[in-house]
Structures are given as C-alpha cells and as structure tokens.
Structure 1
Amino acid sequence: MPREKVKKKIIWEYHKVKGNVKVETLKERYDNDVSDFYELDDEGTLHPIDYIHFDKNNHNIIYIEKLKQEENGEQLVEILTFDFDNLVFQETLDFLNGVAFSSGQHAGGMLVIPEELDVHYYSGITYSKDGYDASNITLQSEYKPYEDAILKFDILSQDDSTRLYYLEKETGINIGDIDMYDTDVIQEFALGHTEMISEFNTNYFTNVTMQVSPQKFSDLVAISGLTHGKGLWDNNADMLLQNGKTISELITSRENFKRLLVQYGIEETLSNQIVEFIRKGKLHNEKNRVTNLIEWKKYEQVLMEHHVEEWFIESIKKVRYLFPLAHAAAYVINAYRLAWFKKYYPLAFVKVMINQSLSDKDVNKSIFLKDREQIDKLISKYENPKTFYTLPKKIRKSSAQMYFMRWLFDNHIELLRIDEDKSDAKRAIIEREKIRLPYMLKRFSITESE
C-alpha cells in the first residue's frame, strides 16, 4: 500500500479509537444526496472522494466524511471530526496536506510591466504552480499600491462563448444574425425570466432588472453597470427610480457618468478628472482622506457652478466604484443572445445548459433528478436565511440549476428519466420534443427506480 494511503489510514484509525468518528445514514445526514462524495474529471468519469468541510458555526472544527455501502445496500456516512483545539498540529498538517482553502490570487489579472524595467522593480514574484513554470508568475504583494504605475488587464474566463457555440451547432443559427433589438426578448428580462442567463440569474440581479423594467438594449447595459458598480444601486438608483427618475438620467457606468457631466456643460478634460476621482472611490477612501476631501470640494464647486441638480450631486457622493461601459456591454451581448435562444429555441437551450452544468464539478448533479415538489422545497430553504445553511454547500452553489428546474416545470418542458437503451452516456439529448437525461446521472440516483 502506498505510504500516503497508509498514513491516512493510520490517522483515521487513531481518531476512530479516540471516539472522534461517528456514523449516520446517508438519508439522515444528506437526504440521500451523494453528490459531495463524487468528483467528475475532465473525461466525464466519476471518482469517489472524501467530503471535507468546516462546521458552519465553528471553523475550528472540520469534518472528513466517507461514504460506505453496507451489504444490505444501505448507504452510511462515516464522519471523522477534527477539533483544532485538541489536535496535534503537525498531524493535522500532514493529513490535510494539499488541500487548499483559497489561493488568494486573481487568475485573470494580467500586469503589463514597462519594457525597460524588471518586475522586481515593483515586487517580488512567486510561481502559482509547482515548479518554475514561467507562464504562471504572480506578484507576491497586493496590486493596489501599484495601480497608478502598472497597467492591469482583467482577462476573465467566460462560459457563455462555449454555450453559444453549442447553441449555434444545435440550431444552425449564427449568433451574428440574431436581432439585438427584439422587444419580446427584452421583455423576458423585464419579467424576471432570467434563469441560466449569465450576469442576470441571481436573485439580486433579477430583482434589479424587474425594478428597472428595461425597454431597450441600452437599459440592459445600464443594469449591468448598476449591479457591477459599488454604491450605485442600493439607497441610490433604486430610490431615484421610485421618485420618478428614468434609467437614462442615472449614473450607471464611467462613460455614462462622463456623458451626463458633459451634458451639464462641464469641459471634457475636467469631466474626465471627476469621473476618475469618483470611479476609484476616493471620496470613501480613508487613506489620504483630507487630501481627497479638498479635491472633492473643488469638483463639487464646479458641479454647482454648472447648475448640476442637488439630487445628482448626492447620488455622486454615494458612488464607490464605477464599472466600464464596454465591459457591461460585452456581458449583456452574450446574456441577450442566450435569452434569445431560450425564448425561440427552448429545447436546444435546455439541452446545452444541462450538458454544461454536468461538466461543472461544483454543480450538484442530483438537481436534475428531482421533481417539482423537491425543487420547490429546496428553493424555499435556499431563500430563507434561517434554513440557508442547513443545505449542503454543493446544493447552495447550484442555485442557478434549482431556479432553472423550476422554469422547466413552469414551461412544461419534460425531462425523460435515464434509460439504458435510449440515454447517451454523458450528454442530454433531445427526444420527441423532450430532453432525455444521460446515463452518467445514474450514479446520482437515489434508487434504481428513479
């Protein structure tokens, strides 16, 4: 037996003897949900794993759980409890070697160093992977102190391009041919039908979108700016809309803010200075607070000289960060295209979304096997702060899939159960205007009949 496995087995048995291991049925502990005990690799193969998690009320306590199958078919969870206050520290380190809680790195932040300078002029470096892989160098220090000296690009990964690629293949529709001003599609956003629509499918985004009630594409871009900025929506734009202002009058992005300042007659260079001051949140930054307040008084005087309305100045004061317009537009273009497919090709949309979810290791796959009553029960618990943390972490991370399933039931789109003769091994397929679930979900079934 490999040395690492021997070590883990010895530690497990040691604590078992000490009485730190207890056993519960899978039904009692997780309502027969096994998804936290399996990992899906890049090839789509499931592997059994130990489930490691902290106690939600006490991060000194960690649980390591094993799934066991009894001869009579009953599934049990063997729970090993570690209390950091009573454990030998080195033993804990050995046992948890290789388990990361958080890297603290921004994977998409790319820094541009002036050609004539070395990166060490600014900061020490480290390698984000084992070994000396020159393609994965990160700063040892925080970026914030260098933001005025180093250009940073946020190169973020996106699932939408993959989803749209498969939707193109499924429907034969080129995304470049989609009408971007279809009022029926925009109305779907206004009604809150945003399940599985990136950037709009959280409760917060959906509520903001419904309150704004977008009528055109630019309204959606404004919503994206409002929700990605800081200090823009809560106790600011939400109240202004209630008081009769329109979305076009409000600060929603850097470029939109500059346009509004120029409309008031403020010279363009000075408008740029005000935008930069506000979008960096300097008015709320405790560092150099006196200097920042003096600078703000200068800009506030300019605003008053140009007869900028008091409500607009008060709105400016609340802003902590402004999102760039181009970034907001890029998000909305993809979101709109997904919503277009969802409205006009719902079966293709469902198929692609299920298959993308199945390839995501953080998604609880058993969601797709639940009926309407079970889904409603999960959503009720998810939306209730008192019961939110009673749900397994993987269920909480699968909220998008929960709401998506409710949308399927509301729109009478049927998911056909797993069939050995008809199901594909790994992918959902369209069958007789319905969606046939893949055979891989059999591993997440509660019983053979399901």
Structure 2
Amino acid sequence: AMEVVITNTNKIADMIEKISPVRPDKCPPVIEDSDKTLREICYNKAHSMYGPNLPKQVEQRLEHELHSIITNGFAVMYIIAQKLVWKSNEDGYLVGSRGSVGSSFVATMAGITEVNPLAAHYYCTNCFYSDFESEEVRKYAGSSGCDMPDKNCPVCGQPLSKDGHDIPFETFLGFNGDKEPDIDLNFSGEYQSKAHDYTEVIFGEGHTFRAGTIGTLADKTAYGYVLKYNEERGTHKRRAEIDRIASGCVGVRRTTGQHPGGIIVLPHGEKIYSFTPVQRPANDMTTKTITTHFDYHSIDHNLLKLDILGHDDPTMIRMLEDLTGVDAKTIRLDEQKVLSLFDNLSALGIRPEDIGGCDLGCLGIPEFGTDFVMQMLRDTKPKTFSDLVRISGLSHGTDVWLNNAQTLIAEGKCTLSTAICTRDDIMTYLINEGVDSGHSFKIMESVRKGKGLTQEMEEEMLANNIPEWYIWSCKRIKYMFPKAHAAAYVMMAFRIAYFKVYYPLAYYAAYFSIRASAFNYELMCLGRERLEYYMADYKRRSNELTKKEQDVLKDMRVVQEMYARGFDFMPIDIYKAKAHHFQIVGDNKLMPSLSTIDGLGDKAADAVVEAVAEGPFLSRDDFRSRCKVSSTVVDLMADLGLLGDLPISNQISLMDFLK
C-alpha cells in the first residue's frame, strides 16, 4: 500500500515537468525607440516652459523619473498614453487623468496629464526666469502654485506663470521606481470609442482586445437555483443541506462581460491564444467587439491593459468651449469669483431663500454638488484651490473625514491644511518630520490601504515626535485618495464652475444636456411656480422617494437656481429642437432637448430629428407613424402644446378637399 499510494505517485509526479495554465512571462508591446522618444518629448516641453538652461529642480526630477521609467521598461506605456491624449486633444477634446499618474513630472512633460507635480514655483515664458526657492515661494510648500500672489518677472517685467502642486513621484512608481504603473485616463464619453479604435491604429488590426470580465453567481441566486432544482424534482432537503449545495455554486461563472474602458494589447509575434481564449461578450455573435475570455486580472501580469475610460467632464468642457469660444486651458485657477462659489452665493447674485435655503453656489459642479460635500465646505470654509484639492481628497476617502478629520478640526487639533487629506500628505509630512524616506513610504502605503500601523511603525513615529492625534487619524483610515487624482478632478470642476459664473446660459445648457440624469420637461420647464410646487411635494416625501425621483429632485435644484438667476425655458419647437442637447435661444432662454419629454427615449428623439429633416408633419397621426412614438407620448406632447395646431389625422371632408 505504501508503494502504491505514496512512493509510486511521488515518482510519477517527479517525472512531470512543471506547467502553468497561463503564461508566466510579461509580454509588453514594443514601440521602437520609445525610451528615446519619451526623453525627447519631455525635454522639448521642459525647454519650452523653463528655457534652454533648466532649473535644477526641473532637471533633477526629470532625470530621476526618466531613469526609473526607462530602466524598468515602462517607457512604452508613457508613449502609448501620450499618443492617445495628443490625438484626443488634436480632435478637440481635453483628457482628464485619474489615479496617481499626475504624480509623475514625465507624464506632465509628455502631455499625459495637466497636473504639474513640482513644488509651487514661478516661471517666466518670456525670459525663462524661475523661482523655486525664495522665502515667498517656500511659504506655499505642500500647496498649489496657483494660490501664490500674482507677480511680474524681476528680469523682463512680464507677468509670471504660477504652477506646481507639490506631489512626490513615489506615489506613482514606488520608492525604487519599480511599482507597476497604472495610467488611467478619462476621455470624453463621446470620444471614448474613437480612442479605443485609435489603439488599433497604433498597434495594428488584431492586436487589441476589450478586457473581459466574468460575472459570477451570487449567494441569493445560487440559493434560488437549488430551491428550484429540488422543486422541479419533487425532492425535499433540509435548510443546512440547501445552504451547503448553494455555497458550492457561489462564485461559479454565470456570464461574461467587458470592462468599461480596458483594452488588452497583444505584442507583435505573439498569438492571443497562448494567453487567453477570446470571445464575443455574453456570446452575442452580432457584436463586433472581441473580449478576452479570461478575466483581465488573470492575465494582467502578462499583457498590458490600457484604461481608456469615458467621463462627462471632458464632454461638458468641449460643449462649453463650443458655445462660448473660450479655451478652458486659459482659465485661471485662482479666480476669486469662482472660488467664492464654494463659500457663498455672491457670484451668482441670488440669496439662499431663492434656492430652498442652499447657501453655496456649487450646485451642479462636479465633485462638489452633493449635500455631503457641501456640508464639508461649510465646515472647512475653503479659500484657495489647494483647499479644494484637500476637500476632494477627504470626500473620496473612506473614514478620512467622518469620525476623523472632521472631529480633529472641530476640536482644534488640526486645520484643513494640516489634516491628513490625501495619501501623499502622509509621506511628505513624515519625511519633513525626520522619519526615514523608505519607512515613510511604507507607512503611507499601509495606511492608504486600510491596514493601519504596525507596532514598529507607531514606535518610529512617536520617536520622531509625531503628534498622538496624527497617529490616531492614521489608524482610522480605510482608503485614501491620491493627491494627483484630486488635483486633476478639481481642475476640471473649477473650469466648469468658471463657466457657471461668467457664461451661465452656456453652463446650464451643457449641464442639462450632459450631466442631468432625470430632466423632465413637464415638471421643470413650465415655469418656476410649477417647479417649486413639485419640489415641495418631493421634499415632503423625501424618505420614500425612488432612485429616479431622487435624481429628478437633484436636477430640479439646478433648474430652480437657473430660474432664480433670471433665466427661463423656451417651449420646445419640434422643428428646431435637438435630440439630446439644449440650445441657447435669445438673450436669456434655453430650448430643452426632445429627449426631456417623458416617455420619449433617446432613439425616439433621434427619430424625430430624422423625420423633421424629411419635411413638415401633416397631422399627429403622421408624426406618430414617421417618428415611431407611442400614442401616449403624442397625447402628452399635444397636452403640453408642443404639436401646435396639427390636426389629429390626415383625413379631411370631401367639401374641404373640393375647396
């Protein structure tokens, strides 16, 4: 028995070579001379900003990063991101960065992100004077350069540019520059599919695949399957046995799908089948999309995954630029009227009682328009762009604000500028207080992942006189936002807020077209009194509102603000209205889109626009048949006066015909 069961089986096992069901090696795509190209692009940009003789802070950071990126083989990832972003910008769409890529100065110089992670500084684009070290500049350590006072160049007299957000590179690539970089980019939702297509242009047909996802069986579904199985067979099992069988089904693949923005890149010379089978998502053979069959997490150690995500902010900024002719990149990030929105209503020229008691002007501003964040704004009273970045970090973290920074600020133990708001704050603060750089990085990584502090970490912090409240705060944190992500999002939000102050009709047109998720013509566009009647009803039923009604109320609040500022809606003209976008009509009116009519979906709105192009409608029946909309929608439109004097049908009397 010993020989059969143990000796022989081990002997056979020793004869079999080790195999892996998936390839163990990393196979990134190759772009010829990507390291040289990256170096060239970065230095060209740096010289165009800082002059032929680069300041030591710029050159040292650039060299340190390029060395880490190139020696670890990451240059190709930067070049791919650079190609995608430049192409999007060329086609008229800004690209937002997310995650910690804004911590990389190379990414800034390559045009991948707008966030400049250097310390706050002045520089002159005329004579290339720069100031990184004066006493005045040093006061803004840890803050954004745009918060510094305006200043003229002491050499040539030209106004100086202000830049820098003071973000360490280590947040992105680790302390040794060997952490796997993850470049996540927010493209306009309208442009996302074009960006996906462009990856195929870069790498060639058949070398890019949508990242697949696997949907697994959940607890309740598995339990239902087991009950149904027994019911169909007329068998009865005890509860414990049903639970046992159901638990064996949980996690089993149920369906396949696709990642919303993930693209897997296959290098030339390789076959996709040596890494994963491929398929059409959910086995839909009519779609052109081909995804990896294995979940992308199973193969991300082999193949490069690009995150090309769709986002509303770039779409909204493109629409605002088109409506106003203003280049969003030229908007100053220290504009005082815009900053006042986060503290009061003065810039909008209205009072809290005009908009249901809301005392802030940031309704409808991305990242800052929710009740939760508005309460944070009231508690912290931000005065600068840096304050907004810190608030964004606090609002996106888990257990960073509630029962943590909020309590500490209320007790006077810290202020908004000294509280832990983003993951980078921990490392930079600890290094400044004398904690070893490598240890500071490890403490930051442990805290931001929610692992708290080990005994040794706590002892080292105490040995360096780190306050007790700071250690208490670190222990409570479950997840922390990177500062680069917060800065990139606030830059986008600030630009949109600028249009809200200076180009209100364009702002409301863009907001209602792109961000409003439940806009309803009947409830919102027939006058302020009617709107406020429905708002009062919704607020009275606030505890029992459905998800859709909550979204409607959110949009109502922005409409109420628009009315309060003296603007109004023009009734929809079916011959002039657009399918999905609001239009500015006259000096102070907006014409809503067709899709705001209840029951008229996106496809039906498109069908109306197509039918209008074919000629006028003869009757309501003609409208219904050509636009393929239901009679209920036609009746609603008629009740709202949107079909004018169209007769009910085309039929006319013999006498009318003879006339």
Same-fold status (TM-score > 0.5): yes
Q: Is 310-319 or 157-166 further displaced after alignment?
A: 157-166
Report the 3-state secondary structure (helix = DSSP H, G, I; strand = E; otherwise coil) of the residue aligned with 2:309.
Answer: coil
Q: 1:443 to 1:344 in 2, by over 3 A?
A: closer
How is 1:167-178 mapped onto 2 (pairs within 5 angstroms)?
167-178=320-331
Report the 3-state secondary structure (helix = DSSP H, G, I; strand = E; otherwise coil) of the residue aligned with 2:589.
Answer: strand
Return the TM-score normalized by structure 1.
0.64
Whether the aligned pair in 2 keeps the contact of 1:367 and 1:401 (CA below 8 Å) is: no
Match of 1:414 among 564, 568, 574: 568
Q: Residue 316 of structure 1: CA displacement? A: 0.3
Whether the aligned pair in 1 keeps the contact of 2:505 and 2:590 (CA below 8 Å) is: no
Letter in 2 for 1:225: G
Q: Where does residue 203 of structure 1 map in the other structure?
A: 371
Q: Where does residue 480 of structure 2 map in the other structure?
A: 322
Q: Where does residue 96 of structure 2 map in the other structure?
A: none
Return the TM-score normalized by structure 2.
0.45
Identity of aligned residues (%): 29
The higher relative CO (CA closer than 8 Å, separation ≥ 6) is in: 1
Q: Residue 117 of structure 1: CA displacement? A: 11
Structure showing greater radius of gyration is 2
Q: Where does residue 389 of structure 1 map in the other structure?
A: 544
Q: Alpha-carbon deviations, 1:92-127, whole Å to 9, x = none? A: xxxxxxxxxx98865245678999999999998775
1:308 aligns with 2:466: yes
Q: CA–CA distance in 2 between the matches of 1:216 and 1:242?
A: 20
Match of 1:224 among 376, 392, 402: 392
Q: Residue 136 of structure 1: CA displacement? A: 3.0
Q: 1:397 to 1:448 in 2, by over 3 A?
A: closer
Match of 2:291 among 136, 141, 144: 136
Report the 3-state secondary structure (helix = DSSP H, G, I; strand = E; otherwise coil) of the residue aligned with 2:465.
Answer: coil
Q: Residue 279 of structure 1: CA displacement? A: 1.2
1:349 aligns with 2:517: no
Count of aligned positions: 340
Q: CA–CA distance in 1 between the matches of 2:456 and 2:302?
A: 25
Q: 1:274 to 1:420 in 2, by over 3 A?
A: closer
Q: Where does residue 64 of structure 1 map in the other structure?
A: none
Letter in 2 for 1:368: M
Whether the aligned pair in 1 keeps the contact of 2:316 and 2:510 (CA below 8 Å) is: yes
Q: Where does residue 211 of structure 2 map in the other structure?
A: none
Q: Alpha-carbon deviations, 1:216-269, whole Å to 9, x = none? A: 111111111111111101111111121222111111112122111112211211
How is 1:288-299 mapped onto 2 (pairs within 5 angstroms)?
296-299=454-457
Report the 3-state secondary structure (helix = DSSP H, G, I; strand = E; otherwise coil) of the residue aligned with 1:107.
Answer: strand
- Computed over aligned residues only, the root mean square deviation of the Cα atoms, in angstroms, reads 4.1
Q: Alpha-carbon deviations, 1:354-377, whole Å to 9, x = none? A: 22257x6x6555453354455445
Q: Where does residue 640 of structure 2 map in the other structure?
A: 448
Q: Residue 273 of structure 1: CA displacement? A: 0.7
Whether the aligned pair in 1 keeps the contact of 2:450 and 2:477 (CA below 8 Å) is: yes
Q: Alpha-carbon deviations, 1:166-190, whole Å to 9, x = none? A: 1111111111111111122111022
Whether the aligned pair in 2 keeps the contact of 1:418 and 1:442 (CA below 8 Å) is: no
How is 1:50-129 mapped onto 2 (pairs within 5 angstroms)?
106-108=259-261, 127-129=280-282
Q: Where does residue 336 of structure 2 map in the other structure?
A: 183
Report the 3-state secondary structure (helix = DSSP H, G, I; strand = E; otherwise coil) of the residue aligned with 1:190.
Answer: coil
Whether the aligned pair in 2 keeps the contact of 1:254 and 1:279 (CA below 8 Å) is: yes
Q: Residue 402 of structure 1: CA displacement? A: 1.9
Report the 3-state secondary structure (helix = DSSP H, G, I; strand = E; otherwise coil) of the residue aligned with 2:365.
Answer: coil
Match of 1:235 among 384, 389, 403: 403
Q: CA–CA distance in 2 between the matches of 1:301 and 1:112?
A: 46
Q: Where does residue 47 of structure 1 map in the other structure?
A: none
Whether the aligned pair in 1 keeps the contact of 2:362 and 2:497 (CA below 8 Å) is: yes
Q: Where does residue 368 of structure 1 map in the other structure?
A: 524
Q: CA–CA distance in 2 between the matches of 1:103 and 1:363?
A: 33
Q: Residue 347 of structure 1: CA displacement? A: 1.2
Report the 3-state secondary structure (helix = DSSP H, G, I; strand = E; otherwise coil) of the residue aligned with 1:196.
Answer: coil
Whether the aligned pair in 1 keeps the contact of 2:572 and 2:593 (CA below 8 Å) is: yes
Q: Which has the higher strand share?
A: 1
Q: CA–CA distance in 1 between the matches of 2:534 and 2:503?
A: 28
Q: Where does residue 265 of structure 1 map in the other structure?
A: 434
Letter in 1 for 2:525: L
Q: CA–CA distance in 1 between the matches of 2:289 and 2:362?
A: 41
Report the 3-state secondary structure (helix = DSSP H, G, I; strand = E; otherwise coil) of the residue aligned with 1:430.
Answer: strand
Report the 3-state secondary structure (helix = DSSP H, G, I; strand = E; otherwise coil) of the residue aligned with 1:397.
Answer: helix
Whether the aligned pair in 2 keeps the contact of 1:194 and 1:201 (CA below 8 Å) is: yes
Q: CA–CA distance in 2 between the matches of 1:185 and 1:407?
A: 16
Letter in 2 for 1:137: T
Q: CA–CA distance in 2 between the matches of 1:317 and 1:123?
A: 41
Q: CA–CA distance in 2 between the matches of 1:138 and 1:326?
A: 33
Q: Residue 327 of structure 1: CA displacement? A: 1.1
Q: CA–CA distance in 1 between the matches of 2:269 and 2:576?
A: 63
Q: CA–CA distance in 2 between the matches of 1:116 and 1:266?
A: 48
Report the 3-state secondary structure (helix = DSSP H, G, I; strand = E; otherwise coil) of the residue aligned with 1:157.
Answer: strand
